[in-house]
Amino acid sequence: MSLKLIGAGLPRTATMTQKLALEMLGFAPCYHMANVWGNLDSVPRWHEAYLGRRDWDDVFDGYQAAVDWPASFYYRELMEAYPEAKVLLSVRSGESWERSMGNTIWGTFYGDLLVNDLSTAWGRVDRKWADYITLMKAMWEKAGLLASEMEGPTGGTMAAAMERYNEEVKATVPADRLLVWSPADGWGPLCEFLEVPVPEAPLPHVNDSKGYELGVMDMAMAALRNWREKQA
């Protein structure tokens, strides 16, 4: 099995909604950042990919689609590795994306937020999570999409970077291979692009921002409880 759909959209562009929708359409399973969270043993594999040592068939063994980082970070390489795969660019306004990033990913790295506190504490007791955060920071810095700690999460820096990124994707991916889409567009364009019937069920909707925050905090607290029990 090889990838049939490559998500080029950035994190915080309703990627969990995309994952669920694609799986409903038969492109299951769909790889997502949640898969990395659920298996931190996969982080070294992604570190190898970051260093240029990549075996995509091994990384995506058994998967038909991939959205969100770390997969979308490599959309160009994946396009070459899977020339028959179509590419989905999920979009939202730069302003709303910047705001979402400030409360989630940027906030986890730099913000004066509880999610940052718990993530940092988790990393102190779990080398795997610490390595994951280190890798994610390196990827974001390399991409040039994240505002610095000094800049802060508002002011338009990230919004402008996101818009530039989207234009780069549009210029890179052949038009007949690309769909620019947001959940507000509904099933129609997505199903037509993938050449599958429109489901009777409504398009799933997931609050990615709240899911991210609660997900990190719940996993951090579980890891901290587990560490404390081992100290007893």
pLDDT per position as a tens digit, 108-131 = 999 889 999 999 999 999 999 999
The pLDDT score that the predictor gives to residue 151 is 85
- For residue 16, give the CATH number of its domain: 3.40.50.300
Q: How far apart are CA 173 and CA 8, in angstroms?
A: 10
Q: Which domain holds residue 162?
A: 5-231
How many domains, in total, are found in the chain? 1
Residues 216-231: what's their mean pLDDT? 91
Q: Are the CB atoms for 39 and 2 separated by under 8 Å?
A: no
pLDDT at residue 210 tops 80: no
Q: What is the mean pLDDT of residues 179-189?
A: 97
Burial label for 188, CB within 10 Å (0-12, 13-18, 19+), is: exposed
Residue 9 has pLDDT above 90, yes or no: yes
CB 219 within 8 A of CB 37: yes
Q: Region 36-65: what's the mean pLDDT? A: 95
Whether this prediction's pTM lies above 0.85 is answered by yes
Q: What pLDDT does residue 150 have?
A: 83
Question: Where does the pLDDT of residue 35 fall: very low under 50, low under 70, confident under 90, or very high at 90 and above?
Answer: very high
Query: CA separation (Å) from 161 to 53, 92, 133, 168?
Result: 27, 13, 21, 11
User: Is residue 1 predicted with pLDDT exceeding 80?
Assistant: no
Task: Give residue-wise pLDDT tens across range 59-75.
Answer: 999 999 999 999 999 99
pLDDT for res 158: 94
Cis peptide before 70 (omega within 30 of 0): yes
Confidence (pLDDT) at 205: 87
Helix (H, G, I), strand (E, B) or coil at 206: coil
Which two tokens mark 167?
A: 């234009």
